[in-house]
Amino acid sequence: MAVGIFDSGLGGLTVLDAVEKRLPEVPFVYFGDNAHAPYGVRTADDIFNLTCAATERLWDAGCDLVILACNTASAAALRRMQESWIPPGKRVLGVFVPLIEALTERQWGDNSPPREVTVKHVALFATPATVRSRAFQRELAFRAVGVDVEAQACGGVVDAIEDGDMILAEALVRSHVDALRRKMPEPDAAVLGCTHYPLMQSVFEDALGPQVKVFSQANLVAESLADYLARRPEMIGQGTERLFLTTGDPRKVSDRATQFLRRQMTFTSA
Catalytic residues: 70, 194
Which helix (H) or strand (E) covers residue 215, if one does? strand 213-215
Q: Which residues, other chains included, contact 210 with Cβ-Cβ below 8 Å and sequence gap of 6+?
A: none
User: What residue spans of 63-151 are helical by DSSP H?
Assistant: 71-76, 78-84, 96-103, 128-133, 135-141
Rounded Cα gap, residues 182 and 252, in angstroms: 39
Residues 92, 59: contact at Cβ < 8 Å?
Answer: no
* 255 residue type, one letter: D
Rounded Cα gap, residues 216 and 221, in angstroms: 9
Phi-psi region of 56 (alpha: psi -120 to 50; beta: other; left: phi over 0): alpha
Rounded Cα gap, residues 7 and 69, in angstroms: 5
Residues 11, 40: contact at Cβ < 8 Å?
Answer: no
Rounded Cα gap, residues 266 and 263, in angstroms: 10
How distant, in Å, are the alpha carbons of 105, 119, 141, 143, 145 from that of 113? 13, 17, 10, 7, 10
Q: Is the dihedral of CA 155, 160, 163, 164 positive or negative?
A: negative
